[in-house]
A and B are shown apart, each in its own frame.
Chain A
Amino acid sequence: EAQVTQNPRYLITVTGKKLTVTCSQNMNHEYMSWYRQDPGLGLRQIYYSMNVEVTDKGDVPEGYKVSRKEKRNFPLILESPSPNQTSLYFCASSLYFTTGTSGGASTDTQYFGPGTRLTVL
């Protein structure tokens, strides 16, 4: 089954204790991204990766790190979590993007993982 998986699904931790949220996709997608979702704010992009070893910042990268050593995996690392990082986190992947704006349902389609609910005390 084609899917994006995240682990753990739920995590309660304490301030300053390093943690990693894993994300894996089995669709051979080039593009992967991390988002956080907070009430009333929609989804905000943290980091994204266009391919292996290529990562870039989204709108809210502070306090997070990522790496893309393999095509299928894109872990999110919180080196020193703080309470303002309490949120619902989603990983997403996409096959590719068109070089122009010719459109098409197969482009720009992001497949989301089930989410990780993180609480930092």
Chain B
Amino acid sequence: GQSLEQPSEVTAVEGAIVQINCTYQTSGFYGLSWYQQHDGGAPTFLSYNGLDGLEETGRFSSFLSRSDSYGYLLLQELQMKDSASYFCAVRGGSWGKFQFGAGTQVVVTP
């Protein structure tokens, strides 16, 4: 089976940097993705890692270490609009099978 762990909540001030960690267990690993979801909205894709290392997309970066079954999402220069839930998702086990973490609520304060 699969399982993912991520912190339930992180609070930070505007302009700060936040790192959301995700550890996973899966019988077969194909990739780690990150999604953002605002209250009442649909999840939207942020980043993907299939290989070890860092992927950078504007203010957001994501890192993967397959040997440690670990990844993180880095949010830089935090803005109020970044207040949302962030989910890590692993594709593994079967080719099209996804499992999502329970989500990390990021609260950005002035």
Contact = CB atoms under 8 A, between A and B. Distances in A.
> Do the two chains belong together in a single complex?
yes
Interface of A: 31, 33, 35, 40-45, 48-50, 56, 58-59, 90, 92, 97-98, 100-105, 107-115
Top 8 nearest A-B pairs (CB, nearest first) are A103-B50, A101-B50, A112-B42, A43-B100, A42-B100, A42-B102, A109-B45, A48-B96
A40 B8 CA distance: 9
Contacts of A105: 47-48, 55, 57
A109 B62 CA distance: 14
B102 A56 contact: no
A42 B47 CA distance: 18
A111 B46 CA distance: 11
A101 B51 contact: yes
The size class of the interface chain B forms with chain A is: 20 to 34
B103 A42 contact: yes
B83 interface: no
Given A90-B43, A101-B29, 11 more contacts: A42-B100, A43-B43, A56-B97, A97-B95, A101-B51, A104-B48, A107-B31, A109-B48, A110-B35, A110-B45, A113-B42
A92 to B, nearest CB: 8
B101 to A, nearest CB: 6
B3 to A, nearest CB: 11
Nearest to B101: A42
Contacts of B51: 101-103
Contact of B44 (A45, A101, A112): A112
Contacts of A97: 30, 91, 95-96
